[in-house]
Structure 1
């Protein structure tokens, strides 16, 4: 059986360290890339996987780098969810269209960090064309508040591990299994299994802060770029291994969810 290799970005965060420890316990190799390029001897490494932010992953994941595919939810996935699962109006648009907004809204890029995700008083406060291309996709959402939020690593539609990460307006981290709402979270998450997600993904869910609290999806995230909070690192690694791997290993069902990677020209 070939040895898998976990590649990390130059700036290894706490999740990267936890995943690296989990990988070593399995006998996997762990390598940290020292800059924004893949050394010749590591290009196309058989059995490679990656944990890194989207900008770094765009540079090193594809050819002529590691030769990986990266799973992520479709950029319009959250907007297309039924209202009873998202709990607010969400529009999939472009930043050029969003700049025409004349009301407060929560605006975010779906699958990267090309500009800050936050509440904007109106569209004029969004980054201009000199900073963000007009056709950059965005999600424009009604402003809502969540009383508590959870991160879930999903594999084949099932929660492999989860963590509370936000409560009462501040960071509040605890394993899902220790949270009193565990069964409610899992029951709501089960409703997402047929909602057009890749086989390996991270979904954040939360309990709306309102007179009649209701569960709703906060957002979907790529497993290969998501923090684990208090999730079990071994279970999270299972999801990362499925989400970032050599392109030839992906099933036909998952290929539709591969992140479009830019062409990278090497000297």
Structure 2
């Protein structure tokens, strides 16, 4: 957030905290979904986000695993190891559950969730997409542990960047119309125990205005954030379906 604030200030964009009194719009937003939803009407910004079932509706060639959109009630009925996560927000921790007994009793049974096969990602990368192209990218995890690193800084990384670009171009050509024009898509190297090497797969999609930039270029990340959560009067017709 601090890096984006510095970049915004350098562009002459005033940066204010959500709690600050006397805020007026039109404005852009970078922060949590609860405060964003509360302030969107008063400050006149539109929040773009992928649909709850986007990942579940992707062809398996892009996910590398079976994923289905469900509810907390469905998750409480699972009887085999399953990765359970909220579709977009962080309303409860994403985790592997052998059954549904460890899910919080405080969760509404109707709360949307994604239920996924359990897989292993060797490395995970965050892509900030603008109009279907990668505007900024960063590695953020290795075998599930946080390990941010800029992408494309050495020969090996450049090869990885080329693979990611090829995979993303194919994804956008097939399913780009199902995403807002400014969004974050996380991809990873999916390990297959039955085949050597790895394959690329989508981890998830996220709201750009609520996504950590990690080691990505803040200037390019800000370009995506400004589109993803900007004045409602600037909303493009293709993005109307993705407004929160």
TM-score computed with the length of structure 2 as normaliser: 0.92
Task: Work out the CA distance in 2 between the residues paired with 1:124 and 1:187.
Answer: 41
Equivalences for residues 90-129 of structure 1 within 5 A: 90-128=67-105
The total of aligned residue pairs comes to 234
How far the C-alpha of 1:226 sits from its partner, in A, is: 0.2
- Give the alignment's Cα RMSD to 1 decimal: 1.4
Q: Which has the higher helix share?
A: 2
Match of 1:198 in 2: 180
- Give yes or no for the alignment of 1:140 onto 2:115: yes
Structure number with higher relative contact order (C-alpha < 8 Å, ≥ 6 residues apart): 2
User: Aligned match of 2:205 in 217, 220, 232?
Assistant: 220
How far the C-alpha of 1:134 sits from its partner, in A, is: 1.6
User: Aligned match of 1:42 in 7, 23, 29?
Assistant: 23
- Give yes or no for the alignment of 1:74 onto 2:56: no
Equivalences for residues 1-267 of structure 1 within 5 A: 16-34=1-19, 39=21, 41-43=22-24, 45-46=25-26, 48-60=27-39, 62-63=40-41, 65-128=42-105, 131-178=106-153, 179-180=157-158, 181-194=160-173, 195=175, 196-210=178-192, 211-212=195-196, 213-259=198-244
Q: Is the contact between residue 103 and residue 123 of structure 1 (CA under 8 Å) also seen in structure 2? A: no
In the alignment, structure 1 segments of 5+ residues that lack a partner are 1-15, 260-267
In the alignment, structure 2 segments of 5+ residues that lack a partner are none
How far the C-alpha of 1:192 sits from its partner, in A, is: 2.1
TM-score computed with the length of structure 1 as normaliser: 0.84
How far the C-alpha of 1:19 sits from its partner, in A, is: 0.5
Match of 1:9 in 2: none
How far the C-alpha of 1:33 sits from its partner, in A, is: 2.3
